[in-house]
Amino acid sequence: MSQINFDAATIYGAKLSRRGFLAAGGALAVYATLAPRDAFAQASAASHSLDPTRSSSWIEIRADNTVQFRTGKCDFGQSSIYVAYPQIVAEELGVPLEAITSVISGDTDRTPDGGGTFGLLRTNVVNLRKVAAYTREAILELAAQRFGVPKPQLTIKDGVVSAGSQSMTFGRLVQGQDLKLVIPVRGNATDFAGLVVDGDPPLKPVSAYTIVGKPLKNPSLAGKVTAKTMYATDVKLPGMWHGRIVHPPTLGSTLVKAGRLDGKKFPNSRIVVTGSLVGVVASDEWEAIQAAKDVAASTEWTPWKGLPGHEGLFEYLREKIDWSAVPVTQGAANKGDAAAAISGAAKVHSASYEFPYLKHAPIGPAVAVGDVQADGTVTVHTNTQNPQYLRKGIATMLNTSIENVVIRTYAGSGHYGRSNGGNAGAEDEAVLLSKAVGRPVRVQWMRPEDLQWSTQGSAMYSTVRIGLDRDGRVVGYQSDHFGPPMQDDRLIGAVLAGLPTINAPSATVPAPHQAQLLVRDNWVYHQIPNVAEVGHGTLQIGQQASPLHTGLRDHSMRTPIQFQQNFPREVAMTEAAALARLDALQFRIDQTNEPRLKDILTRLRDASEWQSRPSPSPDAASSGDRPVRGRGVSVIFRDNGFWACAGHAAVTPSTGVVKVERMTLVVDPGIVVNPLQLKRQVEAGCLMGVSIALHEEVPFDEGAITARDWLTYPILKMAEMPEIKLVLVNRPETGVYGQGSETANALAASAIANAVFDATGKPVRRLPLRPDLVKRALSA
Amino acid sequence: MLTLTVNGEKKQVASAPDTPLLYVLRDELGIMSPKFGCGLAQCGACSVLLDGVEIRSCITPVGPVATATSEITTVEGLPARWAKQHAQAMTESSLHPVQEAWIEQQVPQCGFCQFGMMIKATELLERNAAPSDDEIKEAFTTSGPSAHLCRCGSYAAILEGVRHAASLIANKNKSLV
């Protein structure tokens, strides 16, 4: 066994050390430095890990040339954890993709970093890429000492380090040694965004990439397609019982008297009451469902009214909210004097736009297994976008140390942002029921509960004013966005039970739970000289009137806040182009100085066979039984990527039915990490966007959400699917990795609304483009 | 005790006859591919084949399907179903052409609805080996108790998956002749 002659080395601020020599195996493992307040992370890892010596390692290079990495993020079906991440890590390390044989994700006792499953390629992988860069530099350090040459003389290819005639695999370099690399980090794993890797190790130049950019398949799909993958809903523990919750009839009701459990009919069931949280637990799932229904029928609640009803929502927002109660926020691109420029403009477009509440609406309702042990330790088995933040929420609820809580994660139904602050629903209830009955309990929400007791993407209304000069140039742009907050991460079971949670939204709590409304639609029209965008926030709708301090609980959902603000911008820009008698696509090109945006709009014109002319179409009609056709364009800048979309639609004025015929998307995300996976992500995101555009609005009355099934919250069906054409534009020179599906969501609604305007000559300024609302817009 | 034939095997079950088949499959027999989505026959996540016809296990009581002649197939049983239909030997890694196509075309996103989607695709292709795009869309939208819903929006991938499965089946049948 050859040995290297060092005890410790410093690598760009990271510390490489050898903890000992081994008779067999050998590895280089990478750890985060831990500040004193993070000491629990190591302690809990040691007490709950499968392999205490390796539990918090980020990347491991092993003697057999295999590599394992860990991430606190989870895959929700977009494949990034299993495909894009290995591509980026392998690329940065300089090993073949096949060397990465293991990815451990999500579980709080087996992953080091925490943070939410969002911005996977925008922010989170930047962490992992740096970890890989530190690791590669450590490998080079080992090789430099072994070969007796300076580091700059070394080269890396396919997991082999070479200098002149000497060469050695990564595995050989670590063989027989127990090597530890400690890298600098800041923050806490249980922070909303998790640990952040510090320092600036040298990164591999993008021009040298060979693995990033390949259209690789997602290895996790085989397990799903063969039903071998365990989903969260499939978890069974020894002695586990099934729980169902008897939820209140309104969002502000409290318990008067729990109903009676008929022990004769339901001999294997128990009722559990904590505050206003009523649960039924049974050894048999079907018995639990029936017993809960029976108990619900005789349970008494206080009545409550505190919501405006969805039909009166926008009037309520305009007239009943005191928008001065929460400080306003200013857009980052604001400049000049928009009000003055618009008041002196030759023509002014001025309108108001309305965006309804949306459900995340996973096909699988919320589900979790809680397992509270006699010693007070807790394990939650679920699917979540932010396991460490859920861990913190559960510990807060139980008033226990965070060390006592472990979150184990599984595949699950998509959450689309619902659990990016930890919880989707049912996790806390499973824990409370388990604690009460002293055995593991699985809580499965039923379909009505998942629609009525989960959070929703926030509603918003926006006023937009655009001033044009005599030549159709925009001289001023002004928008004011009004809406409730977007990130309620309180555990609803804990709220009902009267147990501790994080703070309710207010103007004084820190981000991301604040009531202030940020301006989040990244500005792209930099040729406009005067811009004033303002965000006006308020509390959750119903929050103040509710004894539970919860109303219509709002939460980020794909492209949160930006979608709500991009929709009015992109519809208003098309209406302003029409006012100037200009083509809406060229109008956008003329208002931007961003070459990437100009390029994708030019490509969109070709790819969509766009007819350049002003809207409305020469054949436009707003009445009659004959379908009229139109096309609309929209753009967005999100996660370092530029996106442009053209929607072609047919409208039947007499019925208000909109049929989306064709969607064309041109995407420049920066570096295309994996074109095959990005294509699938964008297509799917686009169709979710079409669903939102055509169908979606959360219905509610004065006390409760009234959606209870897929008829009352309809989503897109396959027969409604338009033809989709997609153009991916790879721009390695940008040095940024492109994001996938969620941005696609936000493009469809504005493009289709603009197509309806083109087809009919009547603007539609409220979503969804449902027959009743389209007819109302056509007769306006 | 009831006797249920699932994926070619006879199983004794203790559940009461009014228990929905979904809970019997998942909780008593450990067959986990049918998923609970709505309990209302509105989404298709729980679909299984009953004698080759798609049913929604979340609303189907187990009693009436526990007969001597009724045969239930779930995604776990698709490889054996194909092998039996084509008198082929099964191996550990055998897949039904629909499953092969679902991997080849990278169909699933979260995958939760895809068990029902693959059941629907199998039902369709057993009746119509070369469906048109309109026939595929109709199968997944109007042919059953409800449309098969996908929240991730994988419909374009599903369409390509069914087309690909149809071509795999055509090629396999050709090579058998």
pLDDT at A56: 61
Distance CA A393, CA A774 (A): 43
Q: Which domains does chain A have, with CATH numbers?
A: 8-212 (3.30.365.10), 232-304+366-444 (3.30.365.10), 310-357+457-537 (3.30.365), 562-778 (3.30.365.10)
Res. B10: pLDDT tops 70: yes
My answer on whether B66 and B141 are in the same domain is no
Q: Which residues of A touch B153 (CB under 8 A)?
A: 683-691, 716
**Domain stops at, among B74, B90, B119:** B74
- CB of A488 within 8 A of CB of A557? no
| pLDDT confidence tier of residue A6, bands split at 50, 70 and 90 | low
A 232-251 → B contacts, CB under 8 A: 233-234, 236
My answer on whether B82 and B164 are in the same domain is yes
- CB of A575 within 8 A of CB of A351? yes
My answer on whether B128 and B155 are in the same domain is yes
My answer on whether B70 and B31 are in the same domain is yes
Q: Which residues of B touch A414 (CB under 8 A)?
A: 109-110, 112, 151-152
Res. A158: pLDDT tops 90: yes
Q: Do A284 and B108 touch (CB under 8 A)?
A: no
- What is the tens place of the pLDDT at every residue in A348-365? 999 999 999 999 999 999
pLDDT at A393: 97
| pLDDT confidence tier of residue A506, bands split at 50, 70 and 90 | very high
Pairing of strands A100-105, A67-71: parallel
Mind giving me the DSSP string for A499-559? ---SPPSBTTSPTTSBSSPP--S----TT-S-EEEEEEE-PPTTTTT-TTS-SS-BB--SS
My answer on whether B132 and B114 are in the same domain is yes
Q: Do A363 and B138 touch (CB under 8 A)?
A: no
- CB of A71 within 8 A of CB of A408? no
Q: Do B75 and A364 touch (CB under 8 A)?
A: no
**Domain stops at, among B74, B93, B110:** B74
Question: A441 or A23, which is more confident?
Answer: A441
- CB of A466 within 8 A of CB of A338? no
Q: Which residues contact A502 (CB under 8 A, 6 or more apart)?
A: A393, A396, A489, A490, A513
Q: Do B103 and A709 touch (CB under 8 A)?
A: no
| pLDDT confidence tier of residue A370, bands split at 50, 70 and 90 | very high
Any idea which of A39-43, A472-476, B22-26 has the lowest mean pLDDT? A39-43
Among A76, A216, A224, the strongest candidate for a mutation testing the B interface, having the largest count of B CBs within 10 A, is A224
Res. B41: pLDDT tops 80: yes
Distance CA A349, CA A344 (A): 13
Average pLDDT over residues A505-520: 94
Q: Do B153 and A687 touch (CB under 8 A)?
A: yes
The CA distance from B76 to the nearest CA of chain A, in Å, is: 6
CATH of the domain at B162: 1.10.150.120
Sign of the C-alpha dihedral computed for residues A148, A151, A152 and A158 taken in this order: positive
pLDDT at A34: 54
Average pLDDT over chain B reads 97
- What is the tens place of the pLDDT at every residue in A561-584? 999 999 999 999 999 999 999 999
pLDDT at A119: 84
* Closest-CA residue of chain B to A680: B157
The CA distance from B35 to the nearest CA of chain A, in Å, is: 8
Res. A482: pLDDT tops 60: yes
Closest alpha carbon to A638 in A569, A566, A726, A535: A566
My answer on whether B27 and B103 are in the same domain is no
Q: Do B156 and A676 touch (CB under 8 A)?
A: no
What one-character DSSP code corresponds to residue A487?
B
Res. A166: pLDDT tops 60: yes
Question: A697 or A4, which is more confident?
Answer: A697
ipTM associated with this complex: 0.98
Question: CB contact, 8 Å: B157 with chain A?
Answer: yes
Number of H helices, E strands in chain A: 18, 32
My answer on whether B87 and B12 are in the same domain is no
CATH of the domain at B57: 3.10.20.30
What one-character DSSP code corresponds to residue A124?
I
My answer on whether B167 and B83 are in the same domain is yes
Per-residue burial over A550-586, b if 16 or more Cβ lie within 10 Å, else e, is bbbbbbbbbbbbbbbbbbbbbbbbbbbbbebebbbbb
Number of H helices, E strands in chain B: 7, 5
Domain that holds residue B64: 2-74
Among B25, B35, B109, B158, the strongest candidate for a mutation testing the A interface, having the largest count of A CBs within 10 A, is B109
My answer on whether B124 and B147 are in the same domain is yes
pLDDT at A5: 46
pLDDT at A120: 86
Res. A2: pLDDT tops 60: no
Question: CB contact, 8 Å: A78 with chain B?
Answer: yes
The CA distance from A557 to the nearest CA of chain B, in Å, is: 13
Residue type, B76: E
Average pLDDT over residues A212-222: 97
pLDDT at A221: 97
B104 phi and psi angles, rounded to 5 deg: -60, -40
- What is the tens place of the pLDDT at every residue in A29-53? 887 765 433 333 333 333 222 233 3
Res. A641: pLDDT tops 90: yes
The CA distance from A775 to the nearest CA of chain B, in Å, is: 25
pLDDT at A12: 86
Question: CB contact, 8 Å: B144 with chain A?
Answer: no
My answer on whether B90 and B70 are in the same domain is no
| pLDDT confidence tier of residue A7, bands split at 50, 70 and 90 | low
Q: Which residues of B touch A233 (CB under 8 A)?
A: 35-36
My answer on whether B129 and B109 are in the same domain is yes
Average pLDDT over residues B118-139: 98
**Domain stops at, among B16, B44, B74:** B74
- Backbone torsion region of residue A125, taken as left when φ is above 0, otherwise alpha when ψ lies between -120 and 50, otherwise beta: alpha
Pairing of strands A441-444, A241-246: parallel
The token pair that represents A429 in the structure block: 């209830």
A481 phi and psi angles, rounded to 5 deg: -105, 135
Question: CB contact, 8 Å: A77 with chain B?
Answer: yes
My answer on whether B97 and B148 are in the same domain is yes
- What is the tens place of the pLDDT at every residue in A483-501? 999 999 999 999 999 999 9
Res. B150: pLDDT tops 90: yes
Distance CA A74, CA A388 (A): 11
CB atoms within 10 A of CB A643: 25
Distance CA A565, CA A518 (A): 10
What separation, in Å, do the N-terminal and C-terminal C-alpha atoms of chain A show? 84
Q: Which residues of A touch B42 (CB under 8 A)?
A: 447, 709-711
Pairing of strands A657-670, A723-730: parallel
Distance CA A306, CA B44 (A): 36
Sign of the C-alpha dihedral computed for residues A116, A121, A127 and A131 taken in this order: positive
Which segments within A49-130 are labelled E, that is strand?
Answer: 59-62, 67-71, 100-105
Count up the domains in chain B and report the number: 2
Q: Look at residue B2 and give its three-state secondary structure.
A: strand
pLDDT at A225: 98
Question: CB contact, 8 Å: B22 with chain A?
Answer: no
Whether the bond between A150 and the residue before it is cis, its omega within 30 degrees of 0, is no
Q: Look at residue A678 and give its three-state secondary structure.
A: helix
Helix (H) / strand (E) element for B80: namely helix B78-85
Distance CA A605, CA A752 (A): 16
pLDDT at B126: 98
- What is the tens place of the pLDDT at every residue in A589-605? 999 999 999 999 999 99
